[in-house]
A and B are shown apart, each in its own frame.
Chain A
């Protein structure tokens, strides 16, 4: 859950997605500004934190990076439980990873917190020549499912900070008073459609 105090927000964020989609690489790019070509697989889970200033507040992300293999699926709930946000990652050069991403979306919709901010990251966007998952169809899928969608590249850093920044802006602000219902704040009118179906 996102907790607030004096416009300082702590938000638990979980990364989910297929093996080798680039979950750890996205976090390490965001948290440490680093990229390694052969990032080792995540065993169990890893935890990171990083703070972002958005226009009206400071958001401290507490990030859970999980193991991708189906075999470890049973451990996932303990990481996404109580999360304010999730990034579901797939590899644009791998169709199966996109199918797996859709399963994660389903699971979070069924099990997760209904106010969770969900982002879909089509990672490895630098591998344009190897693209297997078309961006247009994904955009439609994301809109239908109330997801915020971006194609990212941990390698080139494209859209990496942006996706976390967008999530930070979408986190529910419980205080101060003007938003008692905890509605999602829309900073960009253009994306209202995508986000408004979030809780449907």
Chain B
């Protein structure tokens, strides 16, 4: 009872308001059927819809709205989608982006199919797939009109609903409608369009495929309704369209690599793993349990996806390469390229001190070395001032200052049990343990409303380990807490919104597993609480934690990659979880005991693949303002944490 109350966001006022806000923006002006003077002579606009929008990235600010039209010229029907000019001036949207996505008069003879999507939450959208196999990004109909769009097309060209999927409309499919079903739209064909017409499909040589039809290049026709391979091919096809800009980069990169290295990039990852690898053992365990209890198959088998999507991890960024990112005054010239590089490989340890300050937002990427030095000195004295606020409390004063005493007591208790097995924090009277305490106590004065909360010492420990310097560590911690602070809110709203988003992502990316959790009363996802609260700090060895954090902090594919990491781990163990019929207790125990047994690189690859595949649909699972996104500015940024004790 209590549980559902805690985690059901449907009656959460803020969440409802944010949804409402979203829907009210749908009511934008709609100037249907207004013909434009720029149409060619003899052309007739038979359909026009405003506020048809594409979502190139997960960021709402980067969405591009435009007008979708159907134009009839002679006996031919064309489709155009032209983005509005001058929109989004504040956004980073360039003219180049705008023209990249523009659809200029595509004749319907080139269109193979249109798929309609009606998500439970959000706008209806369509995906247009061309005969060449290329798919346009999803077109979101903010002002409705999908039905009218399809009806108009039907008046002018041969449009038939797919026998297999009522949401798929085949265009010009009069030769043999049954044979040209979507099962023929196999991934390799689509991919080869993106990578150039003559690229052979490396996927077809991948060694691992029972449901191999997605890796057959030459369209094998599959008409069985419950053919999982067909489902995968449809899904992968659509994901391909969903992924837009990032995917294009990733895919082309991938194909460059596979071109140059033969098929090396597609080797089955596990073959390279050492015998000691725990997750390998665990996956053997999984196989055993599969024999015992039948488990619903994974709709997006991670292994297959990572073969296609998850890029092999790169070595960490080293000094020489780092220097190439800097200009002569040591500004970071291309922060996006830097973040991308770190996303795929992390940073060598000796560079972390310098690089983390950028990733966390303590230093601006475009600051010069001299500016940073100056910033550092200003911040140092600022830190000293705040620190002095509690240092100057006399014992007489403390006696009458319960909140201070309790806060200090709590911090004292926690710092002596934070990473003490590490040499850096080891031994009696270790000065670094005192630094942890001083920084946390100073933070609890800097952000008195939030105060100190268990878990914060876990977040600070690696930062101090890397930065060494007290003031630098403090400010980097402050920057991290700007994003993760809501994890520690007394009302738990930051945690709830993340666990809620996680449940939505699992529903999207592995519905059998979602249904399993639902049936077993596990939908609150509390078994992932520790993962999310302290960013997997207790799940990996120290060095791996630092690697994971720097990857997460790039916010390269998503601000919420950590949620995809959760999904990736759950998917790795899904067969074990469902096969052994774990209930909530057993699941929590199992998850806690995974600590130290998860292969980070493999999981990051999976998480990347899942994030790309989920695309827009994934981003739509995550309510606005979900940490580590910056909170939505509601004018109440700093409110009192109503805490009985602290």
Contact = CB atoms under 8 A, between A and B. Distances in A.
A38 B418 CA distance: 8
Contacts of A62: 585
Contacts of A96: 406, 409
Contact of A40 (B6, B417, B533): B417
Interface residues of A, number: 28
B444 to A, nearest CB: 12
B417 A43 contact: no
Contacts of B457: 41
Given A39-B417, A48-B589, A96-B406, A69 B2 contact: no
Interface string B439-466: 0000000000000011101100000000
Interface string A66-79: 01111111110110
**Residue from B6, B457, B585 having most chain A Cβ neighbours under 10 A:** B585
A158 interface: no
A61 B516 CA distance: 26
Interface stretch (B308-316, B374-382, B606-614, B638-646): B638-646
B3 interface: yes
Contacts of B645: 70
Contact of A47 (B406, B490, B592): B592
Contact of B644 (A20, A44, A70, A78): A70
B2 to A, nearest CB: 5
B410 A78 contact: no
Contact of A20 (B3, B413, B455, B491): B413
A43 B533 contact: yes
A128 B283 CA distance: 50
Given A46-B592, A81-B2, A71 B529 contact: no
Contacts of A183: none
A67 B538 CA distance: 15
B588 interface: yes
A43 B2 contact: no
B588 A43 contact: no
A75 B533 CA distance: 14
Interface SS, A side: mixed
A29 to B, nearest CB: 16
A69 B414 CA distance: 11
Given A38-B417, A81-B2, A71 B488 contact: yes
A1 interface: no
A45 interface: yes
A44 B410 contact: no
B128 interface: no
A40 B646 CA distance: 21
A100 to B, nearest CB: 8
Query: At the interface, is chain B mostly helix, strand, loop or mixed?
Result: helix
B413 A44 contact: no
A74 B3 CA distance: 10
B6 A74 contact: yes
Contacts of B526: 44-45, 75, 78
A108 interface: no
Interface in A6-25: 19-20
Contacts of B455: 41, 43
A49 B6 CA distance: 26
A40 B410 contact: no
A78 B585 contact: no
A71 B449 CA distance: 12
Contacts, number: 79
A11 B589 CA distance: 16
A47 B533 CA distance: 18
A101 to B, nearest CB: 14
B534 A71 contact: no
Interface in B243-272: none
A47 B414 contact: no
A72 B491 CA distance: 9
A77 B414 CA distance: 24
B67 to A, nearest CB: 49
B416 interface: yes
Interface string A21-55: 00000000000000000111101111111000000
Nearest to A64: B585
B410 A69 contact: yes
A36 to B, nearest CB: 9
B454 A19 contact: yes
Nearest to A45: B588
B492 interface: yes
Interface string B598-626: 00000000000000000000000000000
A70 B451 CA distance: 12
B588 A71 contact: no
B453 A69 contact: yes
Contacts of B410: 19, 69
A71 B646 contact: yes
B2 A72 contact: no
A93 to B, nearest CB: 12
B582 to A, nearest CB: 11
Contacts of A74: 6, 490-492
Nearest to A20: B413
B480 to A, nearest CB: 17
A71 B417 contact: no
Contacts of A38: 416-417, 420
B588 A47 contact: yes
A70 B533 contact: no
Nearest to A40: B417
B529 A44 contact: yes
Interface of A: 19-20, 38-41, 43-49, 62, 64, 67-75, 77-78, 81, 96
12 contacts: A19-B454, A41-B414, A41-B418, A43-B454, A46-B592, A48-B589, A69-B454, A71-B488, A71-B490, A71-B646, A78-B6, A96-B409
Closest 10 CB pairs of A and B: A44-B529, A20-B413, A38-B417, A70-B645, A47-B589, A43-B530, A38-B420, A44-B530, A77-B2, A69-B454
Interface of B: 2-3, 6, 406, 409-410, 413-414, 416-418, 420, 453-455, 457-458, 488, 490-492, 524, 526, 529-530, 533-534, 538, 585-586, 588-589, 592, 643-646
Given A41-B417, A41-B418, 18 more contacts: A38-B416, A40-B417, A40-B538, A43-B458, A44-B529, A44-B530, A44-B533, A45-B529, A46-B588, A47-B585, A47-B589, A62-B585, A64-B585, A68-B454, A71-B646, A74-B490, A78-B2, A78-B526
